[in-house]
A and B are shown apart, each in its own frame.
Chain A
Amino acid sequence: MGKLLALMLTGTYTSLKIFFLTLIFSLPLGLIVAKGRMSKIRIVSSLVNGYIMIMRGTPLILQLIFVYFAPYYIFGSSTDRFTAVIIAYAINYAAYFAEIYRGGIQSIDKGQLEAASVLGFSKIHSFTHVVMPQVVKRIMPAMGNEVITLVKDTALAQTIGVAELFRVAQNAAARQFSTTPIFIAGLFYFIMNAIVSKSFDLIEKKLDYYH
């Protein structure tokens, strides 16, 4: 039992690495994509729109296989499998985050930007100091949803051979001919997501400074 838990903790470590690296890359990338989607330059906005359509319109498991295997057939070389996982997850999640950012940014009244400009704020300054603080507050619930989904989506990494928590649990189940490791894995995911939900609750409370 102790050995099983130790194994599952190494699997959890891999899952957490995927989780945090994906967030680190996709959160800023999503903002760039959102800006691109709202761009007044037609070619930029339609290119970005196409990217979002593909990312949201095809299964993540397929994108994983594509990112890992396709470069060999196209360029004749391939990436390391863990890198492929992070690339696939980051570009996929960036598309979802971008739409959440866009919803938040477009919900801010234009009058505020006009007022900021009258007060002599530069465009960048008014975006970072007037728009974004309000956006962050508004998008928190939607972000919480996506981040919780990401915790569970880490289980797909096993498709291209990355031994994350669920793969480790399934291997243990096959070895022992028992369902117990799978249920323990379920408990692990549940705990991780309980922590994520709790953190989002705390952040929302902290940001709720006008009430």
Chain B
Amino acid sequence: MKKLVLCFILAALIVLPITAGGSKEQGADQSLVKVVDKGVFVLGLDDSFPPMGYRDENNEIVGFDIDLAKEVTKRMGVELKLQPIDWNAKEQELNTGNIDCIWNGFTITPERARMLNFTEPYVDNAQVAVVRNDSPIKNLADLKGKSVGIQAGSTASNAVYGNEAFASSLKEIIEVKDNLTVLMDLEIGGIDAAVLDLFVAVDNIERSGKNFKILDEHLSTEEYGIGFRKNDQALRDEVQKQLLAMKADGTLAKISTTWFGTDITVVGR
């Protein structure tokens, strides 16, 4: 009898998270009303993802995405709350309502689009390989038999694993928590190349002054979007509306120029 009860409890533990996601929030879409009533919009991010969202010298979270979000929430008349999360637990954070959206250089992928409600793309991105300056590696084919590092749960992992011929040509794929550790690993020679977002790579090389270079050949091109819970249509539409308005009055171009020197946004394309 005791064993039976234990079995039931264990089974419930496994099944619960599967069903919990779907059964909640039926009926009218209260997402926007809820945020406006609370007066707080909670943005989930990996706070070690420069230049999209990271901590500056004063330990304040800053970044291109943060500036965008500040402007959007100002126009919505709500307060912006930045919630650092473990990038690998982002699904749980969103599903359990700890955050209202994931807005942090978040690439739109088919799998994510099935589970989440994305805005239209606002920036185009690419996955690139970074190597040490003195490395003989010139293109992706040269990475055959080499070790490649990526951030676990990131789209770099989709880009690498998604290209089966490329992934199987590698000696090993090393996955760690954040891009910073990936680049440290590259510096000490633990890996031969790091795969990460183009903007992140450019920004990191520029600011750290490390002896890295980006290969001209890209692994994949992709688009950044803001991810909401599947049912939160009203909230997603409101943010999209604000982004379009910011594109129209030039605010987006202004924010982009301060971070990248040029307007990289593609809102309303």
Is A171 a contact of B176 with CB atoms below 8 Å? no
Is A171 a contact of B91 with CB atoms below 8 Å? no
Is B175 a contact of A167 with CB atoms below 8 Å? yes
Does A180 belong to the interface (CB within 8 Å)?
yes
* Chain B residues whose CB sits within 8 angstroms of the CB of A171 once the complex forms: 88, 152-153, 157, 175
Is B91 a contact of A173 with CB atoms below 8 Å? yes
**8 A Cβ contacts from B99-146 to A:** 111-112, 114-116
**8 A Cβ contacts from A12-64 to B:** none
The distance in angstroms between the C-alpha atoms of A158 and B18, with both chains bound, is 26
* Chain A residues whose CB sits within 8 angstroms of the CB of B21 once the complex forms: 178
Which of B26-34, B182-190, B261-269 lies on the face that meets chain A?
B182-190
Partner of A174, one of B152, B176, B188: B152
Is A161 a contact of B185 with CB atoms below 8 Å? yes
Q: How large is the interface on A (under 10, 10 to 19, 20 to 34, 35 or more residues)?
A: 20 to 34
One digit per residue, 1 when the CB lies within 8 angstroms of any chain A CB and 0 when it does not, for chain B 9-47 equals: 010011001100100000000000000000000000000
* Chain B residues whose CB sits within 8 angstroms of the CB of A127 once the complex forms: none
Is A69 a contact of B188 with CB atoms below 8 Å? yes
The answer to whether residues A174 and B189 also contact, given A161-B176, A184-B14 and a CB cut-off of 8 A, is no
Partner of B13, one of A68, A167, A183: A183
* Chain A residues whose CB sits within 8 angstroms of the CB of B189 once the complex forms: 72, 78
Least CB separation from A160: chain B residue: B176
* Chain B residues whose CB sits within 8 angstroms of the CB of A170 once the complex forms: 88-89, 152-153
The answer to whether residues A173 and B174 also contact, given A161-B185, A179-B17 and a CB cut-off of 8 A, is no
Q: Is the interface of B mostly helix, strand, loop or mixed?
A: helix
Does A81 belong to the interface (CB within 8 Å)?
yes
Does B74 belong to the interface (CB within 8 Å)?
no
The distance in angstroms between the C-alpha atoms of A179 and B19, with both chains bound, is 10
Does A177 belong to the interface (CB within 8 Å)?
yes
Does A5 belong to the interface (CB within 8 Å)?
no
* Chain A residues whose CB sits within 8 angstroms of the CB of B92 once the complex forms: 173, 179, 182
* Chain B residues whose CB sits within 8 angstroms of the CB of A73 once the complex forms: 188
Is B14 a contact of A78 with CB atoms below 8 Å? no
Does B63 belong to the interface (CB within 8 Å)?
no
Does B177 belong to the interface (CB within 8 Å)?
yes
* Chain B residues whose CB sits within 8 angstroms of the CB of A160 once the complex forms: 176, 181, 185
Q: How large is the interface on B (under 10, 10 to 19, 20 to 34, 35 or more residues)?
A: 20 to 34
Does A187 belong to the interface (CB within 8 Å)?
yes
Is A177 a contact of B115 with CB atoms below 8 Å? yes
The distance in angstroms between the C-alpha atoms of A117 and B187, with both chains bound, is 59
* Chain A residues whose CB sits within 8 angstroms of the CB of B225 once the complex forms: none
* Chain A residues whose CB sits within 8 angstroms of the CB of B153 once the complex forms: 170-171, 174
One digit per residue, 1 when the CB lies within 8 angstroms of any chain B CB and 0 when it does not, for chain A 150-162 equals: 0000000011110
Least Cβ–Cβ distance between A20 and chain B, in angstroms: 22
Is B188 a contact of A161 with CB atoms below 8 Å? no
One digit per residue, 1 when the CB lies within 8 angstroms of any chain B CB and 0 when it does not, for chain A 133-175 equals: 0000000000000000000000000111101000100110111
Least Cβ–Cβ distance between A8 and chain B, in angstroms: 13
The distance in angstroms between the C-alpha atoms of A167 and B152, with both chains bound, is 8
Interface-central residue, B115, B189, B190, by most chain A CB under 10 Å = B190
Does B149 belong to the interface (CB within 8 Å)?
yes
The distance in angstroms between the C-alpha atoms of A173 and B111, with both chains bound, is 12
Is B111 a contact of A183 with CB atoms below 8 Å? no
Partner of A180, one of B17, B116, B175, B176: B17
Is B157 a contact of A81 with CB atoms below 8 Å? no
The distance in angstroms between the C-alpha atoms of A138 and B267, with both chains bound, is 69
Is A163 a contact of B175 with CB atoms below 8 Å? yes
The distance in angstroms between the C-alpha atoms of A178 and B15, with both chains bound, is 11
Least CB separation from B150: chain A residue: A161
* Chain A residues whose CB sits within 8 angstroms of the CB of B88 once the complex forms: 170-171, 173-174
A residues at B contact (CB < 8 Å): 68-69, 72-73, 78, 81, 158-161, 163, 167, 170-171, 173-180, 182-184, 186-187
